[in-house]
Amino acid sequence: MSEQSPASGPLGNLAGGPHDPEHDATAAYALDRGYVAGLTRRIVSSTGRTAPVWSPVGGIPLAHLPQSSPADVAEAFARARRAQVAWARTSLDERSAALLRLHDVVLDRQEELIDLVVWESGKARKDAYLEVAHVALTARYYARTAHEHLDTRRVGGMFPVLTRTEVNRVPKGVVGVISPWNYPLTMALCDGLPALLAGNAVVAKPDAQVMLTALLGAQMLEEAGFPAEIWQVVAGPGPEVGGAVVAEADYVAFTGSTATGRAIARQCADRLVGCSLELGGKNPMLVLRDADVHRAAEGAVRAVFSNAGQLCVSMERLYVADQVYDRFVDAFVSRTRAMTLGASLDWSVDMGSLISQQQLDTVTRHVEDAVAKGARVLTGGNARPDLGPFVFEPTILEGVTADMECFGTETFGPVVSLYRFHSEDEAVERANDGLYGLNASIYTRDTRRGRELARRVRCGTVNVNEAYAATFGSLGAPMGGMRESGMGRRQGPEGVHRYTESQSVAVQRLLPIAPVMGMSEEVNAKVMTGALRLLNKLGRA
């Protein structure tokens, strides 16, 4: 694997000037303190406490962030509720226009956003750009389809002409969005954008490791014309502040671990409020015997090592047909070894850093456990502190068995296990093994066969001849998990409808649905029966 040393990129207004964080010992903070102060003023905090944030790029400090208390969370919800009343009364066209302005704002300021995402997460610059693109896609999709999803809809009434029935989409109120660290921009904003479109306000609780990116996103919402008060931000430990958000919200959108998702679901159930949960995965990729081996190997590199494997829909299990196994492995290993690694803001890095020591420890433990129990490392397998404090080589394992920790447990890092299969039925059965069901991938020249097999795979999204981007980038298609990978969906109609209550309104005209003119109940029943038979003959629903 080729290597990329830590280096500065175009920082814009983020710092006083370019410097190499590995060699410039005089740089106390990577980011200008005035710039940070402009962002952190958006945090609802009265505690006087702060917490440090460090960058995986060179291990340098970024900021000290104000911390919120449960009382601050309550205050954030109070502010949001006041603002939501007026926001819900604005026209759908006004809300859509704000989303379209946001689309342009994030594209115009993409360099600043990308820099900050890389500083906070350590990911490769190309992976950070995808966050900008996804926010723009989400904003544009919901703006352009707003009326399709949210306009009052006429449905068939009980009796033609006599009954007029409509269904309204009413905002739930204030939505709590609890977002993870792995995609600090897109996860902080994209679940909240359809909530705003539907007339809700949002209280956001981003992960503590990536607060600055989420705050810059909130700043851009205001720049796009959204009222400042409808998007509140709180900061602090998940068990303390996250629980307070769930206790106040009218609906909760959460992305994170299955264990935390279970706790949130229980808390929501106690309050009889809804939630959507995108949780863990152990995603499978199937390479069928007729697959284009080189296309599959290229796709596997992206499927496994994008964002250093810290992607909910990335692949950790590759099932390859006997007929192409050896050729695929050669191509996959060769492409993996050619990747450039590093913790840097430069575009030349193929795979960046893990975000923290905790992630590095998990990845290291999984690999060491597998090797100790007999797995073979085809490439990678080592931490690279010479490139960054949390950099780990992209790693391909062969011979992984059920007694190894990485067999069925999510690694969430740049590690994949290879397996042979003899028949497609066997491949589907093994892909469905385990408790997760988030994303899957199938490589085949016969795309019709790929679509047929996809229906048998128990995952919320399945990509044919692509890893994850085809479904994730198709904003009209819902995205989410089956089984222990979650409940509810983001994107598509379901992604905005989850933030609304459906309300039916019916107007009865001319005649009541009751006996008229002294008619007895018995006679009314006969008249009603005749009407029902007539409507059935006429083909009415």
Q: Tens digits of per-residue pLDDT, 423-437?
A: 999 999 999 999 999
Q: Known catalytic residue: 501?
A: no
Model pLDDT for residues 48-102, shown as the tens digit of each residue: 999 999 999 988 899 999 999 999 999 999 999 999 999 999 999 999 999 999 9
pLDDT score, position 2:
53
211 with 252, same domain: the answer is yes
pLDDT at 353: 96
- Domain limits for position 243: 71-279+493-500
Q: Is the same domain home to 412 and 316? A: yes
Rounded distance between C-alpha atoms, residue 263 and residue 17, angstroms: 45
**Whether pLDDT at 7 is above 90:** no
> For residue 539, what are the contacts with CB-CB under 8 A and spacing of at least 6?
none
Q: CATH number for the domain including 374?
A: 3.40.309.10
Residues 6+ apart with CB under 8 A from 481: 278, 279, 281, 436, 437, 438, 439, 459, 460, 487
Residues 291 and 405 in one domain: yes
Residue 66 lies in a domain: no
Average pLDDT score, the chain: 92
Q: Residue 6's pLDDT band (boundaries 50, 70, 90)? A: very low
State how far the Cα of 148 lies from the Cα of 95, in Å rounded to an integer: 14
Residue-wise pLDDT tens digits, 515-531 = 988 899 999 999 989 99
The count of structural domains within the chain is 3
Amino acid at 93: D
Helix (H) or strand (E) holding 286: strand 283-287
- DSSP notation for 313-335: T-EEEEEEEGGGHHHHHHHHHHH
State how far the alpha carbon of 337 is from the alpha carbons of 65, 106, 393, 498, in Å.
39, 34, 9, 43
Q: One-letter amino acid identity for 35?
A: Y
| Residue 94, pLDDT score | 98
Cβ-contact 413, 366 below 8 angstroms? yes
Triad 431, 435, 438: Cα angle to 5°: 65
Mean pLDDT, range 493-508, rounded to an integer: 96
Mean pLDDT of 183-201: 97
Beta bridge partners of 487: 277
**Is residue 165 in some structural domain?**
yes
User: Each residue of 307-346: pLDDT tens digit?
Assistant: 999 999 999 999 999 999 999 999 999 999 999 999 989 9
Instruction: Report the percentage of the chain scoring pLDDT > 90.
Output: 86
Looking at 16-25, 63-72, 206-215, which range is the least confident one? 16-25
Q: Is residue 450 part of a domain?
A: yes
Residue 110 in any domain: the answer is: yes
Please state whether the predicted TM-score (pTM) of the whole model is above 0.75.
yes
248 is catalytic: no
Catalytic residue among 190, 268, 275, 312: 312
Rounded to an integer, what distance in angstroms lies between the CA atom of residue 493 and that of residue 479?
Answer: 11
Is a pLDDT exceeding 60 seen at residue 510?
Answer: yes
Whole-angstrom Cα distance, residue 80 to residue 82?
Answer: 5
Q: Are residues 387 and 469 in the same domain?
A: yes
User: Looking at residue 75, which CATH number applies to its domain?
Assistant: 3.40.605.10
Could you tell me if residue 398 is inside a domain? yes
Low-confidence winner among 157-161, 247-251, 276-280, 313-317 (lowest mean pLDDT) = 157-161
User: Cα(497)–Cα(148) distance, rounded to whole angstroms?
Assistant: 11
Give the residue-averaged pLDDT of 495-503: 96
Q: Based on the fold, state whether residues 254 and 268 are members of the same structural domain.
A: yes
CA distance 419 to 427: 10
- Whether 5 maps to a domain, the answer reads no
Percentage of the chain surpassing pLDDT 70? 95
In this structure, the dihedral spanned by the alpha carbons of residues 456, 461, 464 and 470, taken in order and rounded to 10 degrees, is 170
Q: What is the pLDDT of residue 58?
A: 85
Mean pLDDT confidence for 284-298: 97
**pLDDT tens per residue across span 137-154:** 999 999 999 999 999 999
Phi, psi of 457 (to 5 degrees): -90, 130
Is 41 contained in some domain? no
Q: Is residue 406 one of the residues assigned to a domain?
A: yes
Average pLDDT over residues 218-244: 95
Residues 332, 357, single domain; the answer is: yes
Do both 239 and 319 map to the same domain? Answer: no
More confident residue, 472 or 253: 253
Instruction: Say if residue 91 is exposed, middle or buried (CB neighbours under 10 Å; 0-12, 13-18, 19+).
Output: exposed
Q: Is 88 left (phi over 0), alpha (psi -120 to 50) or beta?
A: alpha
Question: DSSP assignment of 323-367, as one string?
Answer: GGHHHHHHHHHHHHHT-EE-S-S-TT-SB---SSHHHHHHHHHHH
- DSSP for residue 240: I
Residues 296 and 217 in one domain: no
Q: Measuring CA to CA, which residue among 467, 473, 410, 407 is closest to residue 436?
A: 410
| Claim to verify: residue 298 and residue 261 sit in the same structural domain | no
**191, 103: one domain:** yes
What span, in angstroms and rounded, lies between the C-alpha atoms of 422 and 289?
A: 9
- Give kind and range of the element (H or E) at residue 504: strand 500-508
Count helices and strands in the chain by DSSP H and E runs: 20, 20
Catalytic residue among 22, 120, 248, 278: 278
For 344-370, what is each residue's pLDDT tens digit?
899 999 999 999 999 999 999 999 999
The total of other beta-carbon atoms located within 10 Å of residue 376's CB is 13
For residue 516, the model assigns a pLDDT of 87
Both 309 and 446 in a single domain?
yes
Please report the pLDDT score of residue 184 as a whole number.
Answer: 96
Beta-bridged to residue 53, according to DSSP, are 63
Q: What is the mean pLDDT of residues 506-512?
A: 92
Pairing of strands 61-66, 50-54: antiparallel
**182 and 243 belong to one structural domain:** yes
